[in-house]
Every structure is written in C-alpha cells, then in structure tokens.
Amino acid sequence: MKNIIIIYLAFLVSNSLVAQDKFITQTGHTKFFSSAPLEDIEAHNNKVQSVIDFAKQEVVVSMDMQAFEFDKSLMREHFNENYVESEKYPKAIFKGTFSNGSPIDPTKDGAYTVTVEGTMTIHGVTQPVTTEGTIVINGAKVNAQTKFMIKVADHDIDIPKIVFHNIAEEVEVTVDLKYDPLNS
Amino acid sequence: MKIRTLFFFSVAVLLSVGAFAQDDLMNLLEANTEESIHFTEATFKGSRLINGHTVETRKQGELEFLISHRFGRLNSGAYEFFGLDAANVRLGLEYGVADFLTLGVGRNSFEKTYDGFAKIKWLRQSKGKRVMPVSVVTFSSAAINTLTESSPGEFPDLTARMFYTQQLLIARKFGSALSLQIMPTLVHRNRIQEREGENDIYALGVGGRIKLTQRVSLNGEYYYRLNAEEYAEDDLNQLFNSLAIGFDIETGGHVFQLHLTNSRAMIEKGFIAETNGNFFAGDIHFGFNVSRVF
C-alpha cells in the first residue's frame, strides 16, 4: 500500500516536473489589413499575449482590441466603438492545437510547418479556424507565424453601406509571435 | 475501505492529469499577464453635445471643421417658412495640439461674434489597472462681439465687447449606450444690456446621450441658470434656460447633429446667458452641426 502511494505521488510530481515546453509572450504582433474600394485600412497590435505548450501541441492567443493602432485615431475609435464593440468584448481569443505529423521537440532547433486547428472568438462570436503556420525554434527562442482571412460577417460585425471608414468583408490577419520560456 | 480510498485517490490523480486543457493554458496566460489600463473611448460622438461642448477632445494633429446652423423659430409661420428663411451660421476650426489639449476658433453670424477657446482634458475615465469613474475637461472661451454700435456709446471701448466662459465638463460613459455629463458654468460679460441680469451668470448644465443604434444617438441638454433674473410672465425681454434635444448621426469621418433648441446663439455666452426663446411656446429653432475631421 505504501509503495502504491509512493508511486502515485511520484506520478503526481512528474506531472508538474515537465521539461521546458511552455513558452510565453506579452509583446506579440498582429496586423490586420482590410482592402476596401475607398481605402485600405491597416492596424497593428504589439501587445498580443500568447502561450504555446509543446507537450500538448497547444497554443492560446489573446488580443486586447483596444491595443490596435491605426493611422487615424478616428478609425481606431470607430473600430472599437462601432465594429468590434470592445467595451462589451474587450478581447479576441484564439485557442488551437497544432501538428506537423509528429510532435515538435522544443529542444531541437529548426523550422517546422504546422497546421493549426482551433477556434477564434471575436466580437463574442466563436468560429472554427484552420490555418497553416510556421514555428521556428532557435535555442530558447520560439517564433510562430501565421496568416489567415477572417470573414467579418462570421463574427456578427455589421458593415453599414453609408459609412466613410468602410472595412472590407474579409480582412487579412497576420500574426507574428516571439516567445520566451515560461518559468512556472 | 482501503480499496475505496485507493479508488478515489486514483480518480483524483487521473483528473489532475486530464485538467490540462487549453483552458488551463488560458488561465496560465492570464496568471502571467499584467492588467493594463483601459481608457474609455467615444463617450460622445462629437465635440458638441448639442449647443455646448462634450468632454471629447481632438487627438493630436487632428483638425476638425465644424459648420453649425440655427434657423429661425418654428412658430414664425409659413411666410418665414417656419424659421428656415432666417439662418445663423457658425464656422469653426478646432485643432488637437496634444491629445489633452484642443484649441478652437469660430465665427458666429449671430451678433457677428468671433470666439476662441481652449479645452483641456484633466482626467480620462478608465478601468482595469487604474480606475477613474469620470472624464474631466475644462473649457475656457473668450468671445468678441463686432457689431457696429446701434447707438453712440454702446461700446465705449474694446473690453465692453468681450465675453468669457469657464466650464467644467464632467462626464461618465455608463456602458456603450448611455453617457451623461454635468457642466458647472460661469459666463462673464463685461458689459450687459438692460434687463440681461448680472454680469456674471452661474449655470449648471446637464446632458446626455442614449445610443439608438450603433451610429445614431439621441441627445439632450439643459442649462439651468442659478442666478437668473426674475421676469413677469408677459415680459418681452424675459430670458429662459437653454433646452435642446437632438440626434447624432455618424457616418465615419462626419458627424451630423440635428436638433431643436430654444437658443439661437452657438457660443456659451449666448445660449447659456441670453436665450430668449420659450421652448414650450414654440420658440424653437431647428438647427444642425456638421463636423468633418481631417
């Protein structure tokens, strides 16, 4: 009985004593680009937060909507106030799992192409997303990049016909995350 | 007994393994994240509530061109086309010197008045790391009446033509649909006409907006004069508190404001201290503000 308990305890401890397979960033970069007949609109967010876990091949990304910066402050205001309603829905959240056939070992340097499957929650509406991405491991640094399109209507974001700062029905989202090891 | 304990123990261990899902990663992310300050944006759609200012200032480097109209009175009848034959216009330019400082100039055809003002944002409503319940802005304006004298000695010197307004604008956005503002105000007039009350008029303004749709809001504004002159019911010179209701319609770079008010003037000294229309007797001016930000 005692032995069994010791084995169990060892098992419990082993759960928390995993290798360095979690990485974190608070300063990830996301760009969204909308090309509409009247004008192109581009916005940058340099405060994207993300954790990547190689043990489970999982990633979560959290974006503060108010941190998107535009050329014109009025665009930023309309983006927050009228399109994504950031007061009600302050964050966009992506949760996903990635795979490239075999699990990626974060101790081995190299560039890996991965397929990321998950859900994107914007404006309080969650939609499935599948995209191709790259993960580059270089020593203790991990860099993840991906690009995908989002249909604005899928997230119940309304585009009126008569507004001046019009956004396209599909916007291109480019994500570039540079991670550091998470010391838990 | 032992078997049971062992069973529960096993379940607990297995659960502890299975609990690491993405939610767990999300919690981990949140646990490692510092809270940031969230400043409230767009308490109001424009820099004007209706007649008076809101706490909104222009961002640094932005220039706003503002055209305001107040027509004649609705009760002036069909011959005057219900007031539309008479129009007062104010043209204004407002520039964001810094995010917290807006300077503006304007010219009002009513009493041929030029005005200049400074708006300074002292506090911004915020939540998150720093909680601030209201936005606070001071508004200071000086105006000069350039009408020719209607009688000799009406304006003995330049100072007699000057007016000053000091306002404190305190506003809070209660969620995205409702914003309210109170405006303690002092209007100083160097020289006043007979029956216009005191040189210094103290007033308390209240106003707000309710969003009807994402881009349309219903606004209201009322300025209560604290030291108003007493008038007889039928006195033709009697003055009233300024009352206004209107709509804001936003189309991106423009904000259209359509309103009904008993005030004809479009600067504080005029509509707060010298409104001579009785809203409830039909002395209502239709008007609009059109703003374009560059």
Cβ of A26 and B215 within 8 Å? no
Amino acid at B108: N
3-state secondary structure of A13: helix
Exposure string for A135-163, b = 16+ CB within 10 A, e = fewer: bebeeeebbbebebebebebbebeeeeeb
Residue A86 and residue A77: Cα distance in Å, rounded? 10
pLDDT of residue B17: 46
> CB–CB of B83/B70 below 8 Å?
no
pLDDT of residue A139: 85
Q: How many CB pairs under 8 A join A and B?
A: 97
Six token digits for residue A67: 């941190």
- Count of CB atoms situated within 10 Å of the CB of B20: 16
pLDDT of residue A101: 77
Residue B92 and residue B101: Cα distance in Å, rounded? 16
Cβ of B22 and A58 within 8 Å? yes
Q: Which residues of A touch B17 (CB under 8 A)?
A: 15
For residues A161 and A54, which has the higher predicted lDDT (pLDDT)?
A: A54
| Mutation site, A3, A46, A53, A60, interface B, largest B CB count within 10 A | A60
3-state secondary structure of A133: strand
Cβ of B41 and A53 within 8 Å? no
Q: Which residues of A touch B29 (CB under 8 A)?
A: 24, 49-51, 60, 62
For residues B152 and B241, which has the higher predicted lDDT (pLDDT)?
A: B241
For residues A33 and A14, which has the higher predicted lDDT (pLDDT)?
A: A33
Cβ of B32 and A74 within 8 Å? no
> CB–CB of B95/B120 below 8 Å?
no
pLDDT of residue B236: 81
Six token digits for residue B246: 């209107």
Residue of B nearest to A75 (CA): B252
Question: pLDDT of B88-130, one tens digit each?
Answer: 999 999 999 999 999 999 999 988 999 999 999 999 999 988 9
HSE (side-chain half, CA atoms, 13 Å) at A16: 7
User: What are the DSSP calls for A63-96, one per residue?
Assistant: EEGGG-B-SSHHHHHHIIIIIS-TTT--EEEEEE
Closest among B236, B283, B288 to B82, alpha carbons compared? B283
Q: How far is CA B263 from CA A9, A105, B50, in A?
A: 80, 73, 11
**What is the bridge-based pairing of β-strands A22-35 and A141-151?**
unpaired
Non-local (6+) Cβ contacts of B21 within 8 A are: none
Q: What is the DSSP letter of B53?
A: B
Residue A103 and residue B288: Cα distance in Å, rounded? 64
What is the mean pLDDT of the segment spanning B121-144? 95
pLDDT classification of A42: cutoffs 50, 70, 90: very high
Cβ of B28 and A51 within 8 Å? yes
Cβ of B17 and A15 within 8 Å? yes
Cβ of B175 and A158 within 8 Å? no
Residue of B nearest to A118 (CA): B22
Six token digits for residue B124: 């911004």
Question: Minimal Cα–Cα distance from A82 to chain B, Å?
Answer: 6
- Count of CB atoms situated within 10 Å of the CB of A107: 12
Question: Residue B7 region, left (φ>0) first, then alpha (ψ -120 to 50), else beta?
Answer: alpha
Residue B267 and residue A146: Cα distance in Å, rounded? 54
What is the mean pLDDT of the segment spanning B194-221? 91
Q: Which residues of A touch B13 (CB under 8 A)?
A: 8, 11-12
pLDDT of residue B18: 42
Which residues are registered as beta bridge partners of A173?
Answer: A32, A148
- Enter the pTM of the model: 0.83
| Positive or negative: CA dihedral A53, A28, A91, A36 | negative
Cβ of A95 and B26 within 8 Å? yes
Question: Residue A28 region, left (φ>0) first, then alpha (ψ -120 to 50), else beta?
Answer: beta
Q: Per CB distance under 8 Å, which residues of B are interface residues toward A?
A: 2, 6, 9-10, 13, 16-17, 20, 22, 25-26, 28-30, 32-34, 36, 38-42, 59, 62, 175-176, 214-215, 250-254, 293
Cβ of A49 and B36 within 8 Å? no
| Mutation site, A16, A80, A82, A162, interface B, largest B CB count within 10 A | A82
The angle at the Cα of A56, spanning A55 to A59, to the nearest 5 degrees, equals 110
pLDDT classification of A8: cutoffs 50, 70, 90: low
pLDDT classification of B192: cutoffs 50, 70, 90: confident
Does residue A90 have a pLDDT over 70? yes
**What is the bridge-based pairing of β-strands A170-181 and A141-151?**
antiparallel
Does residue A72 have a pLDDT over 80? yes
Closest among B165, B111, B113 to B144, alpha carbons compared? B113
| Positive or negative: CA dihedral B266, B267, B271, B274 | negative
* Residue/partner pairs of B221-224 with CB below 8 Å, 24 or more apart: B221/B49, B221/B50, B221/B51, B221/B52, B221/B245, B223/B52, B223/B183, B223/B185, B223/B271, B223/B272
Q: How far is CA A117 from CA A102, A134, B13, in A?
A: 15, 13, 29
What is the mean pLDDT of the segment spanning B52-73? 94
Q: Which residues of A touch B254 (CB under 8 A)?
A: 164
Residue of B nearest to A67 (CA): B38
Number of H helices, E strands in chain A: 2, 8
Question: Minimal Cα–Cα distance from A110 to chain B, Å?
Answer: 24
Q: Which residues of B touch A182 (CB under 8 A)?
A: 28, 32
pLDDT of residue A4: 67
3-state secondary structure of B9: helix
Gap between the terminal Cα atoms of chain A: 32
Cβ of B26 and A50 within 8 Å? no
Residue of B nearest to A60 (CA): B26
